[in-house]
Amino acid sequence: MRSSRPRLRAKLTWAATLPMVVGALALGIPSAGADTGPAGRDALAGAKPRWATPGADRGSTPGSARITARVHLAGRDAAGLAAYARAVSDPGSASYGAYLSARQTEERFGATVAQRSRVTSWLTSAGLKVTGSDRHHVTVSGTTTAMERAFSTRLRNYAKDGHTYRAPESAPSVPDSLNGAVLTVTGLDNAPHKARHDDTLPPPDEVFRNAGPFSTYYGSRTDPKLPSAYGAKAPYAVKGYTGKQLRSVYGAKNFTGKGVTVAITDAYASPTIAGDAATYARRNGDQPYRRGQLSQVLPADYHSTEECGASGWYGEETLDVEAVHALAPDAGIVYVGASSCYDDDLLDSLSTIVDGRLADIVSNSWGDLESNETPAAAAAYDHVFQLGAVEGIGFYFSSGDDGDNVASTGVKQVDMPANSAWVTAVGGTSLAVGKHDTYQWETGWGTLKANLSADGRGWTDFPGAYTSGAGGGTSAAVPQPYYQRGTVPDALAKANGRTRMRTTPDIAAVADPNTGFLVGQTQTLADGTLGYDEYRIGGTSLAAPVVAGVQALAQQARRGVPIGFANPAIYQRYGTSAYHDVTDLPLGAGRRLAVARNDYVNGQDATDGIATSLRSLGRDSSLSAVVGYDNVTGVGSPAPGYVTSYRGR
């Protein structure tokens, strides 16, 4: 499978279950029983890593060690922000859709000049150097001793995953005279450490091509010489679905996303995106881009390009742009690139969109394991999501490509930021588009791979080993949001204990790379030159922009009124004709599905041979797509009635 989802390498890595305070922060609710901090100070809930335990203590951090931290500002009324974000997003609220402009949001909920001044003065008086600031945070540097003095905690070294990392011994705190101006602080721990420096973006990755033969639609081509599977001959995988096919099965009708703007965030920026997008549209029957329809907002410089695999992100941007345009050909697209793949920089990209109200819908094909997310980072993300919600901006995040993550980590867990109660987590399906672009069925995306035997008479180790699947499951950190009550079964919501928790995903669309999307991108060819080529791709990196495109159509159907944070409306439609209720056995009990697939051994051509395999569908680790809500596809995938269901609301 083509790599479909570069991971966010979060600055702070966690190995244990995150504390419950994350969910309280996410919902803007004071955390019951939270540490109040030393006398005269307010504790910053969630800023102490759970892995910093006495048993893992390896001694004090040297007082002279230099540290850089980011102090996140809470603004005028953090609790009021969360309450208003809920009210304008809930179809049952009298304030539903009463969005604020970016200026009104800043005036009502942003940090005041006086708050920023007080925070800056306090940090300076504590012996820290302010190295940067904006309306959301203040960045400071200083010695360990100065950081300890400023935040009234000791920094110590702790063993974690075979390494030693710095972390606060107790919850950091700030003077209560700041009157709640500080939301949280990140950077006091360094798991893992990251060097920062300016880099030049690398050239595109080496060319990748799919080997044929292909089906043009699901089931259009089979090879009678290949062995049977599940009582039938498996058809060849499709070459890659196009916008025309996806628009048909997801109910686009005559809607095109006109008047709607979709933002895309990823790290870095493809240097060939404009030409690639135009070439792809021309070759695959999509509407040409009008002048200014695709724009980019990029940082002044980039860093950590080698650590983050910068060139791998080019394909992410290309997929997102081409998928959104394929589904919503008249929607404006603005790409907002981050200077690296780390939390601070991706947060800055999201904030740029909110501060300028650059878009109605934001598609994000990146994330990391929930165990790698600190509560402090979660609070900072949620603050941006809430600011977006009051402006009528909806954020969509891919749910992950490793199922329950047990195969890769040994622990069942979900991904972040898809775990946030303030975003729409997008799961994945395997999609069968039939002749004349008709919808046949979907299964939950989950793949088992069995190779063709040497004699060509059978599939080795049938049905094969698990390779990948849509992410989903139950959060260990975020309590169940109100909109999931009564829809998510307790067997899922209480999977981690007695408390109902946030379950992902919320909605789903095509993701399986074996039934994936055709994408076109400039790549480094075998002779070292650059050239445009096309290949099939998948992952929930595909599902997120597909759903974002469908939401652009739905907003147009709503006469241009923003949908905003969509989850309350998504769950309101649960159980209606707005959704395909996706299951792993859409043709009935015992009728398993699969495709045959050829791959170049070297990823480019037949020089080193071609490998033939069988890819079984609907086999996602311990997760299952069943009737009703499930942890692979959420409430289901958009049906033909989904887009028009937003009319009149």
Comparing CA positions, the residue from 177, 171, 128, 135 lying closest to residue 149 is 128
Residue 439 · residue 245 · CB < 8 Å? no
Q: Which two tokens stand for residue 412?
A: 């069942």
Comparing CA positions, the residue from 25, 2, 176 lying closest to residue 539 is 2
Residue 353 · residue 336 · CB < 8 Å? yes
Other CB atoms within 10 A of residue 457 CB = 9
Q: Which residue has the higher pLDDT, 331 or 50?
A: 331
3-state SS, residue 119:
helix
- CA 557, 561, 562, 566 torsion: positive or negative? negative
Q: What is the mean pLDDT of residues 398-403?
A: 96
Q: Which two tokens stand for residue 446?
A: 């989950």
Q: Which residue has the higher pLDDT, 11 or 500?
A: 500
DSSP, res 290: P
Beta strands 332-338 and 294-297 are parallel
pLDDT of residue 375: 86
pLDDT of residue 201: 77
Q: What is the mean pLDDT of residues 113-121?
A: 95
* Count of CA atoms in the C-beta half-sphere (13 A) of 615: 25
pLDDT of residue 47: 76
491 pLDDT tier (thresholds 50, 70, 90) = very high
- CA 147, 152, 156, 162 torsion: positive or negative? negative
d(CA 338, CA 348): 7
| 188-200: pLDDT as tens digits | 988 753 333 445 6
Residue 220 · residue 235 · CB < 8 Å? yes
d(CA 43, CA 617): 49
pLDDT of residue 649: 56
39 pLDDT tier (thresholds 50, 70, 90) = confident
Tokens 């509560």 correspond to 375
Residue 484 · residue 454 · CB < 8 Å? no
Give, in order, the Cα–Cα distances in Å from 354 to each of 74, 331, 358: 15, 18, 7
pLDDT of residue 193: 36
Residue 178 · residue 48 · CB < 8 Å? no
Tokens 């980011």 correspond to 70
pLDDT of residue 192: 54
3-state SS, residue 245:
helix
pLDDT of residue 312: 93
- Would you mind telling me the total number of residues written for the chain in this entry? 649
Please give the domain boundaries of the chain with CATH numbers for all domains: 21-50+52-75+111-190 (no CATH), 243-646 (3.40.50.200)
pLDDT of residue 100: 98
Write phi, then psi, for 22 (nearest 5 degrees): -60, -45
Residue 508 · residue 428 · CB < 8 Å? yes
Q: What is the mean pLDDT of residues 270-298?
A: 97
373 pLDDT tier (thresholds 50, 70, 90) = confident
Report the chain's mean pLDDT, rounded to a whole number. 91
CA 228 to chain CA mean position, Å = 37
- Per-residue burial over 62-94, b if 16 or more Cβ lie within 10 Å, else e, is eeeeebbbbbbbbbbebeebbbbbbbbbbeeee
pLDDT of residue 590: 86
33 pLDDT tier (thresholds 50, 70, 90) = very low
- In the chain, pLDDT over 90 holds for what percent of residues? 85
| 596-619: pLDDT as tens digits | 999 999 999 999 999 999 999 999
Comparing CA positions, the residue from 535, 550, 99, 593 lying closest to residue 357 is 99
Which residues make beta-bridge pairs with 199?
A: 302
Give, in order, the Cα–Cα distances in Å from 303 to each of 136, 207, 248, 313: 21, 24, 41, 13
pLDDT of residue 10: 26
pLDDT of residue 17: 27
pLDDT of residue 15: 25
The answer to whether residue 521 scores a pLDDT higher than 90 is yes
Which range has the worst mean pLDDT, 161-175, 469-483, 515-529? 161-175
| 574-594: pLDDT as tens digits | 999 999 999 999 999 989 999
The answer to whether residue 442 scores a pLDDT higher than 80 is yes
181 pLDDT tier (thresholds 50, 70, 90) = very high
d(CA 521, CA 523): 6
Residue 150 · residue 127 · CB < 8 Å? yes
Q: Which two tokens stand for residue 573?
A: 């439609």
| 304-320: pLDDT as tens digits | 999 999 999 999 999 99
Q: What is the pTM of this model?
A: 0.93
- DSSP secondary structure of 180-218: T-EEEEE-SS-SS-----EEPPPPPPBP---BS--BSST
- Per-residue burial over 483-497, b if 16 or more Cβ lie within 10 Å, else e, is bbeebbeeebbbbbe
3-state SS, residue 282:
helix
